[in-house]
Amino acid sequence: MGSFLKRLINWFLVLVLCTNLASWAEAAGLGCNWGVQASHLLPPNIVVKMLKDNGFTKVKLFEAEPNVLKALGKSGIQVMIGIPNDFLAPLANSVDFAVHWVDRNVSTYISKFGVDVRYVAVGNEPFLKTYKDTYLQTTFPALKNVQAALIKAGLARQVKVTIPLNADVYQSDSGLPSGGDFRSDIHSLMVSIIKFLNDNNGPLTINIYPFLSLYADPNFPIDYAFFNGASNPIVDGSIFYTNVFEANYDTLIWALEKNGFPSTPIIVGEIGWPTDGDPNANVDYARRFNQALLNRINQGIGTPKRPNSPPDIYLFALIDEDRKSIQPGNFERHWGVFYFDGAIKYPLDLGNGRALVAAKGVEYFARQWCVMSPYASISDPNLAGSMTYACTYADCTSLGHGSSCGNLDAKSNASYAFNMFYQTADQQKGACVFSNLSVITKIDPSQDNCRFEIMIDIGKHELGRNNTSNSPSFPREHNLLLAFLFCWVFFVHLFLGA
What positions carry a catalytic annotation? 125, 270
| Burial degree of 173 (CB within 10 A; 0-12, 13-18, 19+) | exposed
The number of beta carbons lying within 10 Å of the beta carbon of residue 308 is 7
The number of beta carbons lying within 10 Å of the beta carbon of residue 307 is 10
In the chain, the largest separation of any two C-alpha atoms, in whole Å, equals 98
Q: Which residues contact 383 (CB under 8 A, 6 or more apart)?
A: 376, 414, 437
